[in-house]
Amino acid sequence: MTEKDPDGLVRLRNALRQFAAERDWDQFHSPKNLASALAVEAAELLERFQWLTEEQSRNLPSAELEKVRQEMADVLNYLVRLADKLGVDLLDAARDKIALNAQKYPVERSRGSARKYCD
């Protein structure tokens, strides 16, 4: 999402800016509202999986995968929109969080354990 990333998240951010501006939708796009919209889209994504077994979720029929792909796009688009409103660089934030998690879950103590997730 930096200028070094010319055809990635920066371009997407700009396209979303223009989309909202053309429709005068910035008035609805407070961070609070965008965070709600993001959670709603994440749940719509989850809905595609909720009754599947884990194995079925690894082998989606192509029509279903396309629906999943569209829900993932909605999630990314609201996330990028929120990042734009808050001045957050998503890639920097993601990298920083991985570094934090590496400290929190050292390889030796975390291997093969889901405990981290629960405690």
- Residue 99 has phi, psi (to 5 degrees) of -65, -40
Q: Which of 17, 97, 103, 104 binds a second copy (CB under 8 A)?
A: 97
Helices (H) and strands (E) in the chain, counts: 7, 0
Query: CB of 46: closest distance to a second copy in angstroms?
Result: 5
Query: CB of 77: closest distance to a second copy in angstroms?
Result: 5
Query: CB of 2: closest distance to a second copy in angstroms?
Result: 7
What single-letter DSSP state applies at residue 52? Answer: S
Would you count residue 81 as binding a second copy (CB under 8 A)? no
Query: CB of 12: closest distance to a second copy in angstroms?
Result: 5
Would you count residue 17 as binding a second copy (CB under 8 A)? no
16: nearest Cα among 34, 32, 3: 34
Which residues, numbered 31-70, are part of the site for a second copy (CB under 8 A)?
Answer: 31-33, 35-58, 60, 64-65, 68-70
